[in-house]
Amino acid sequence: MSEPERWAFPEALQPRAAELRFDLDAALDAVVMLRSEVPEDAFTAQILGTVRAGSGVVIGDGLVLTIGYLITEASTIWLTTNAGQVVAGHALAYDQPSGFGLVQALGRLDAPVLARGTAATCSAGDRVIIAGHGGRAHALEARVFARREFAGYWEYVLDDAIFTTPAHPLWGGAAVIGADGRLLGVGSLFVEEMVGERKVEGNMAVPVDLLEPILDELLRAGRASRPPRPWLGLYATELERRLVVAGLAPGGPAANAGLRVGDTLAEVAGEPVAGLADLFRKVWRLGAAGVEVPLAVTRSGKRVEIRVASIDRAELLKKPQLH
């Protein structure tokens, strides 16, 4: 018996088919298990590991939508249906701005397609289903507790993410399914947030709407045609109303330019920064990958100016290969 089959949500937390206007089992069967293996010398191996597991959603003929970190630099991918069929997969694309990944099954995948909806129909307070691979046992009735911006320390910003509660323990690549049985988003993270005076545990999901404008390009070329964003290789965090460098990618542009852990980020190109999302947006507005990024930081009480030669992060990643 595989690891994901050893547990189940209590029936009280599972969605009830009789209360839904769509075929629940068909929708859940569109969610497959995804397991990937990554070379030990891959750029992301130390942070994300060499063996990754989560879910993916069948959105076309053998085409699986998932969250990109599961397949970044993957040398091997296996897809498993709820019926137990196992098929090899190929990493077609990883879109860094959205965070989505696409996998193409390399054999016939006997799983239904889940139709894509729009997250525009999804508001705070709405009921949704968070579905990981494994059918009803791994499907969780949840509600949306927020729709808002999300900024991740790894140089990632979503203008309007979906936040749901309670938390699904296997959130990576899980399907967020709306009241009409259509796909609204794909699970990305576990989050803990204060809502009023109460701490809420839940998940952040990437709205499926971000896929529509770039899907054809991802299928054709493996990436969207927009210019790659400048990447600095710094991990920042908000600490007591300050934006502090918490980590640096070894050998990355920021580390090579002399940025240090503990530096307080104050300005980008002469403009003050107000939070994580504002920092990255100001960097991205300077131009495409390769642009020089002037930063001002505070270090031991002194102002230090540093110029960082940005790069395209994709240049550091191993490319998928068909064997």
The DSSP code sequence of 109-154 is ---PPPPB--GGG--TT-EEEEE-SSGGGGEEEEEEEEEEEEEETT
Reading the chain (323 residues) residue by residue, the pLDDT tens digits are 344 458 999 999 999 999 999 999 999 999 999 999 999 999 999 999 999 999 999 999 999 999 999 999 999 999 999 999 999 999 999 999 999 999 999 999 999 999 999 999 999 999 999 999 999 999 999 999 999 999 999 999 999 999 999 999 999 999 999 999 999 999 999 999 888 888 999 999 999 999 999 999 999 999 899 999 999 999 999 998 899 999 999 999 999 999 999 999 999 999 999 999 999 999 999 999 999 999 999 999 999 999 999 999 999 999 877 65
132 and 254, same structural domain? Answer: no
We report the CATH number of the domain holding residue 240 as: 2.30.42.10
DSSP bridge partners of 77: 36, 89
Whether residue 322 is contained in a domain is answered as no
Q: Angle CA(301)–CA(306)–CA(307) in degrees, nearest 5?
A: 165
156 and 122, same structural domain? Answer: yes
79 and 141, same structural domain? Answer: yes
174 and 110, same structural domain? Answer: yes
What pLDDT does 5 receive?
Answer: 56
**From CA 15, how far away is CA 221, in angstroms rounded?**
38
pTM: 0.95
| Residues 272 and 283: beta-carbon distance below 8 Å | no
What pLDDT does 1 receive?
Answer: 32
**From CA 40, how far away is CA 51, in angstroms rounded?**
10
What pLDDT does 4 receive?
Answer: 47
**From CA 190, how far away is CA 213, in angstroms rounded?**
27
What pLDDT does 320 receive?
Answer: 79
212 and 286, same structural domain? Answer: no
217 and 243, same structural domain? Answer: no
Residue ending a domain, among 197, 226, 255, is: 226
We report the CATH number of the domain holding residue 94 as: 2.40.10.120
Residue ending a domain, among 193, 226, 259, is: 226
Whether residue 323 is contained in a domain is answered as no
| Residues 280 and 157: beta-carbon distance below 8 Å | yes
122 and 266, same structural domain? Answer: no
83 and 49, same structural domain? Answer: yes
Task: Find the domain containing 258 and state its range.
Answer: 234-316
Whether residue 8 is contained in a domain is answered as yes
255 and 196, same structural domain? Answer: no
181 and 211, same structural domain? Answer: yes
Question: If we measure between CA atoms, which residue out of 37, 15, 232 comes closest to residue 138?
Answer: 15
User: What is the number of structural domains in the chain?
Assistant: 2
What pLDDT does 323 receive?
Answer: 53
Tokens matching residue 15: 């969605």
What pLDDT does 3 receive?
Answer: 47
Q: Which residues contact 265 (CB under 8 A, 6 or more apart)?
A: 236, 243, 244, 245, 273, 279, 295, 297
